[in-house]
Amino acid sequence: MTNAANLPKWRRVVVKLSGEALMGDAPHGLHAPTLERIAADLAAAAELGTQIAVVVGGGNFFRGILGADKGIERARADSIGMLATVMNGLALEQAIEARGRQARCLSAVPMPSLCESFSRRAALHHLAKGRVVISAGGTGLPFFTTDTPAVVRAAELSADAVLKATQVDGVYTADPKRDPNARRYDTLTHDEAIAKNLAVMDTAAFALARENKIPIVVFSIAGDGSIRAILEGKGRGTFVLP
Ligand X SMILES: Nc1ncnc2c1ncn2[C@@H]1O[C@H](COP(=O)(O)OP(=O)(O)OP(=O)(O)O)[C@@H](O)[C@H]1O
Ligand Y SMILES: O=c1ccn([C@@H]2O[C@H](COP(=O)(O)O)[C@@H](O)[C@H]2O)c(=O)[nH]1
Q: Which residues bind ligand X (CB under 6 A)?
A: 18-20, 57, 59, 145-147, 166-168, 171-172, 174-177, 198-200
What amino acid occupies position 181? N
Q: Which does 144 bind (CB under 5 to 8 A by kind): ligand Y, ligand X, none?
A: ligand Y
Q: Which is nearer to ligand X, 8 or 30 (CB)?
A: 30
Shortest distance, position 9 Cβ to ligand Y, whole Å: 26
How many other C-beta atoms are found inside a 10 Å radius of the C-beta of residue 186?
Answer: 10
Name 158's Cβ contacts closer than 8 Å, sequence gap at least 6. Answer: 12
Amino acid of residue 203: T
237-241, strands of its sheet edge to edge:
116-117, 103-107, 132-136, 51-56, 12-17, 161-166, 216-220, 237-241, 187-189
**Is residue 207 packed enough to be buried (19+ CB in 10 Å), middle (13-18) or exposed (0-12)?**
middle
Of these partners, ligand Y, ligand X, none, which one is at the site of residue 119 (CB under 5 to 8 Å by kind)? none
**Taking CB within 5 to 8 Å according to partner kind, which of ligand Y, ligand X, none is near residue 190?**
none
Exposure string over 132-148, b if 16+ CB within 10 A, otherwise e: bbbbbbbbbebebbbbb
Are 195 and 91 in contact, with CB atoms under 8 Å apart?
no
Measured between alpha carbons, how far is residue 58 from residues 30, 73, 211, 242 in Å?
A: 10, 18, 26, 28
Residue closest to ligand X, measured at CB: 57
Residues in Cβ contact with 229 at an 8 Å cutoff, skipping those fewer than 6 apart: 223, 235
Among positions 41, 54, 59, 208, the unique one binding ligand Y when judged by CB under 6 A: 59
| Smallest gap from residue 108 Cβ to ligand X (A) | 15
Q: According to the binding rule CB under 6 A, does residue 19 interact with ligand Y? A: yes
Binding residues, as ranges, are: 16-19, 58-59, 63, 78, 139-146, 166-167, 172, 175
Q: Which of residues 79-98 bind ligand Y (CB under 6 A)?
A: 81-82, 84-85
Judged by beta carbon, residue 176 or residue 235, the one nearer ligand X is 176
- Site string (118-157) toward ligand Y, x via CB under 6 A: --------------------xx-xx-xxx--x--------
CA dist 196 and 208 (Å) reads 16
User: Residue 231 or residue 240: which is nearer to ligand X going by CB?
Assistant: 240
CB of 124 to ligand Y, least distance (A): 20
Residues that bind ligand Y (CB under 6 A): 19, 57-59, 63-65, 78, 81-82, 84-85, 138-139, 141-142, 144-146, 149
